[in-house]
């Protein structure tokens, strides 16, 4: 493990290595920064952040990640639920486990089908065209801008189309749902802030309540509208080019008696509403980050960029203006871009946008490539993608 101080544990060491980073750097940079400082440390090591945070076992190796997520999936840490509670209210697919998770995951399963997502390509293409227009406009102005802001707006609009079949239009104007979510994200905390005022800020509950109310009003209106239309159609609706919420409500109504169509189960409605917010939040901090890293990687590797362009030219032709229409007409053309897919996967490997927290268990050790055992009992296990 890194150099340990009997009084400060690893806090002083973490402060030294993170002081070189930007103040708004993502917490996921911490383990990699430590590994760069101590190359001999390896991808699995302990961190003692008491009393600010819990004692942790950092796992950043493929083998280690497989052990704690697939071979013997460790339970998710309560701090994850605490962190996501202002977004999803503790009723979501990320923090659920066991039979309850399987039940609700099954309800949303149709929306995760690749075939179904292909049917929504037209809407995705339309939102991506807006993104490209914004980039072209900024490039012509030779202005400095934050790519993350544009990528956030793109992912918000795409998720809005896929999940709710609504035009959030956050790339062109303000939207109350998007504004509420962004404000909520700024106030999220794992409860491990060094600044006690930041950790116990008395204003946070009020802001959380206000933002939740703004988001819930917007999403509740969408759910009621879709539910009413499905009622008129007796639960039968054309699936093509419909949102995930339509699939979920159709599945819900198919399991109900006709006499119960008039009212939606409150628990089901609450879960659906929370899950929509979680979809938006997840895209806000993962998909948009990956988009930025892809642009960065291609900019720094002109030879790779050239090969990507050549592949696109061979599939879509030499006129990029024709690509949107071609993809909308035949989304499966995207399956003819193996090199582009490889680039995306490599970016995800080099710049993982997600991490997770789990609870260590008695008798469960993570084993590294050298055969060393790392006990997990009483540790927060931090898995870095």
Least confident of 73-82, 222-231, 253-262, 336-345: 253-262
Scan for tokens 């002081």, then name that residue: 19
Q: What's residue 234's pLDDT?
A: 54
For residue 149, which of 349, 292, 11 has the smallest C-alpha distance? 292
pLDDT in tens, 324-347: 999 999 999 999 999 999 999 999
- Name the band, by pLDDT with cuts 50, 70 and 90, for residue 240: very low
Q: Which residues contact 41 (CB under 8 A, 6 or more apart)?
A: 1, 2, 34, 35
Q: What is the pLDDT of residue 326?
A: 95
| Side-chain half-sphere exposure of 7, counting CA atoms within 13 A | 1
C-alpha closest to that of 382 among 36, 34, 96, 15 = 34
* pLDDT at position 241 over 70: no
Residue 267, pLDDT above cutoff 90: no
Written as six digits, the tokens of 318 are: 């030499």
In the block, residue with structure tokens 């493929």 = 62
How many Å apart are CA 320 and CA 84, to the nearest integer? Answer: 40
* Main-chain dihedrals φ then ψ at residue 120, nearest 5 degrees: -100, 10
pLDDT band for 57, please (50, 70, 90 cuts). very high
The encoded tokens of residue 202 equal 């008395």
> Distance between CA 287 and CA 139 in Å, rounded?
22
**Lowest mean pLDDT across 51-65, 94-108, 141-155:** 94-108
| pLDDT value at 364 more than 70 | yes
CA distances from 168 to 15, 66, 171, 270, 373 (A): 40, 37, 8, 21, 49
At 101 the pLDDT is 79
- Rounded-to-integer distance, Cα 205 and Cα 318, Å: 54
pTM above 0.85, yes or no: no
pLDDT for 263 beyond 80: no
| pLDDT for residue 300 is more than 90 | yes
For the record, the structure tokens of 145 come out as 């801008």
């Amino acid at each position: 493990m890194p150099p340990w101080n009997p009084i400060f544990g690893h806090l002083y060491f973490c402060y030294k290595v993170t002081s070189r980073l930007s103040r708004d750097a993502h917490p996921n940079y911490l383990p990699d920064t430590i590994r760069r400082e101590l190359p001999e440390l390896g991808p699995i090591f302990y961190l003692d952040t008491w009393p600010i945070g819990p004692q942790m076992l950092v796992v950043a190796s493929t083998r280690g990640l497989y052990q704690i997520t697939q071979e013997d999936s460790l339970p998710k840490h309560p701090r994850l639920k605490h962190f996501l509670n202002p977004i999803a209210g503790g009723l979501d697919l990320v923090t659920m486990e066991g039979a309850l998770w399987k039940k609700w995951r099954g309800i949303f399963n149709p929306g995760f089908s690749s075939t179904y997502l292909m049917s929504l390509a037209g809407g995705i293409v339309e939102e991506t065209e807006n993104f490209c227009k914004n980039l072209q406009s900024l490039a012509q102005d030779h202005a400095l801008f934050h790519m993350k802001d544009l990528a956030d707006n793109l992912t918000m609009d795409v998720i809005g189309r896929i999940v709710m079949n609504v035009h959030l239009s956050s790339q062109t104007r303000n939207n109350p749902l998007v504004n509420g979510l962004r404000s909520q994200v700024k106030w999220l905390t794992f409860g491990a802030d060094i600044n006690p005022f930041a950790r116990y800020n008395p204003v946070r509950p009020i802001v959380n309540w206000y933002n939740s109310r703004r988001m819930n009003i917007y999403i509740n209106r969408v759910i009621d509208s879709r539910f009413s239309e499905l009622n008129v159609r007796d639960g039968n609706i054309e699936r093509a080019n419909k949102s995930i919420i339509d699939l979920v409500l159709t599945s819900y109504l198919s399991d109900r008696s006709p006499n119960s169509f008039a009212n939606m189960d409150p628990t089901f409605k609450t879960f659906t509403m929370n899950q929509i917010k979680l979809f938006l939040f997840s895209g806000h901090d993962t998909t948009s980050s990956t988009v930025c890293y892809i642009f960065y990687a291609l900019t720094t590797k002109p030879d790779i960029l050239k090969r990507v362009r050549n592949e696109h030219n061979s599939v879509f032709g030499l006129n990029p203006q024709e690509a949107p229409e071609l993809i909308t007409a035949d989304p499966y053309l995207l399956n003819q871009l193996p090199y582009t897919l490889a680039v995306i996967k490599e970016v995800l490997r080099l710049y993982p946008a997600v991490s997770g927290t789990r609870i260590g268990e008695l008798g469960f050790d993570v084993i590294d490539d050298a055969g060393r055992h790392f006990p997990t009992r009483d540790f927060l296990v931090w898995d870095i993608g």
